[in-house]
Amino acid sequence: MKLSFNEKTAKSAAKKYTRIVLTEKPKTFHRLVQTVAGTTEYHMGVGKFKDIKARTFITLIRSVVQAAKKHQIEHLVIDYDALAFPALKDLPAGWRASTIAENLLLSDYTFTKYKTGKGNKTELKEVLICGRLTAADKKGFKRGQTVGTYVNQARDIANTTGDDLTPSVLAKTAQTLAKGTKVKVTVLNHTQIKKAGLHALWAVGKGADDMPRLIVMEYYGAGKPVKNSKDKKKKPLVMVGKGITYDTGGLNVKPSGAMHDMHMDMSGGSSVIASIVCAAKLGLKKNIVAIIPAAENAVSDRAMRAGDIIQSHAGKTIEVMHTDAEGRLVLADGLSYSKKFHPRAVIDVATLTGAALAALGQHASALMTKNDTFSAKLRACGEESGDYVWPLPLWDEYKQHIKSDRADIANIAPNFSRFGGSIEGGTFLSFFAPKCPWAHLDIAPRMESISSDKLAKGSTGEPVRLLVKFLEQY
């Protein structure tokens, strides 16, 4: 889909365009209208204009694309002014333009890699936005196109099968995406992983044919920090993304119905890859590092066993009580490795627990941090971007549940209690996180889209929009 804008009015657009006319009628109202002037208009009810807030606005933009696709409209024109709802006034300059561009691209996305034949669907070829744009609007519009493109990149990676996207392929994909940008990519192979003491990552990935990789991406938009420098501004923000390219559960194999979508268990990884490259494309004057411990959690005679004890990168020994709690193992090493970069703050992003879906449903990711300022900032970025997050506690009381008799810590509660499963995951990670502000995002609830998202089925590409917004502001 081509996105363009001009300063004319939508009414004066050429006849090939169908003009979107929003009305205060109920959301069920839809009419395709032929005007006396010979043009086509699509009238859409959106409810009371005064009730349209950030959340509803995002869905509204996506509905426009859905409607266009349904009616096989190829060229759409929208009045920019008609999208200036009163409740959006207080949002930052450029927000509306950026949000329009992002969500037009997000809702236009389809994943067809595995579909043979072209189908007979006409595609939406162009959306033209008409009206006066301020400098902030123009900037926002451009930003939104870049952000939307990278969210869709993250979706492409996550939607690819575990057979096609193994750890080495994920590493190559990161290198390809970073090509032509100022992002430097380093990949540690399994020998280097063992040598570096990343034994938890090795343990999770050693059962698979394609060995684990540690993908490290560095972007120094604020200038490379000098060793031992106290310059706070140069300390990077580090993102650690879970890169499990397929999660069978390991020897504690997952039941049928719980495994088929586990090719998306690298969604944390793909979102941090897309976010750091997007930050570079936007030219952010920030220092950012992305670390993706990538492994396939396979069933094999070489696989990690329940009962094994691993010496993690941090030095702590971990008793593997359950091989399906593998995400926290690779992240433990990823978080510990992040200390090497003297981070200012660390965010890890992972499809960590099914329990996060039990807690929140599928409308928000779970946010865990002990830092209230960090929490508030991430929640605000979530609200503004549309990648919603909601907090769960990390109180010390939870620590006792993962004590191990045989090692320093157990990867799940040794009594196999499933209560508070997401907090248990976050608590485990807290033992490996650096001392700086750290937040854990359990994105399992947002791994796959649901119908109310008005997005294609499969990966949502979350939380790229949130991460980029946070990177712009931290």
Q: Is 327 in the site for ligand BES (CB under 6 A)?
A: yes
DSSP 144-173: HHHHHHHHHHHHHHHHS-TTT--HHHHHHH
Residue choice 421, 437, 461, 463 for contact with ligand BES (CB under 6 A): 421
Instruction: Decide if 328 is catalytic.
Output: yes
> Shortest approach of ligand BES to residue 324 CB, angstroms?
4
Residue window 181-220: x/- pattern of binding to ligand BES, with contact defined by CB under 6 A: ----------------------------------------
DSSP 92-128: PTTHHHHHHHHHHHHHH----TT--S--SPPP--EEE
If the CB atoms of residues 319 and 326 are measured against Zn ion, the closer one turns out to be: 326
Residues engaged in binding Zn ion (CB under 5 A): 244, 247, 265, 324, 326-327
> Shortest approach of ligand BES to residue 258 CB, angstroms?
7
- CA separation for the pair 241, 271 (Å, rounded): 7
Q: Which two tokens stand for residue 48?
A: 């009371």
Q: Is 339 in the site for ligand BES (CB under 6 A)?
A: no
Instruction: Decide if 379 is catalytic.
Output: no
Q: What is the DSSP letter of 13?
A: S
DSSP 311-329: E-TTS-EEE-S-TT--HHH
Q: Is 296 in the site for ligand BES (CB under 6 A)?
A: no
- CA separation for the pair 443, 348 (Å, rounded): 10
* Secondary structure of 122-148 as H, E, C letters: CCCCEEEEECCCCHHHHHHHHHHHHHH
Residue choice 238, 318, 355, 441 for contact with ligand BES (CB under 6 A): 355
Any idea what the Cα angle at residue 103 is, between residues 97 and 109, rounded to 5°? 140
- Classified as helix, coil or strand, 270 is helix
Residue choice 412, 429, 433, 464 for contact with ligand BES (CB under 6 A): 412
Q: Which two tokens stand for residue 276?
A: 């750091």
If the CB atoms of residues 59 and 353 are measured against ligand BES, the closer one turns out to be: 353
Q: Is 158 in the site for ligand BES (CB under 6 A)?
A: no
Residue appearing with tokens 């504690």? 252
Q: One of 172, 254, 370, 399 is an active-site residue; which one?
A: 254
Contact stretch for ligand BES (CB under 6 A) within 168-176, 225-233, 269-277, 325-333: 325-333
> Shortest approach of Zn ion to residue 73 CB, angstroms?
40
**Where do contacts with ligand BES occur on this chain (CB under 6 A)?**
247, 265, 322, 324-327, 351-355, 412, 421, 444, 447
Q: Which amino acids are annotated catalytic? A: 254, 328
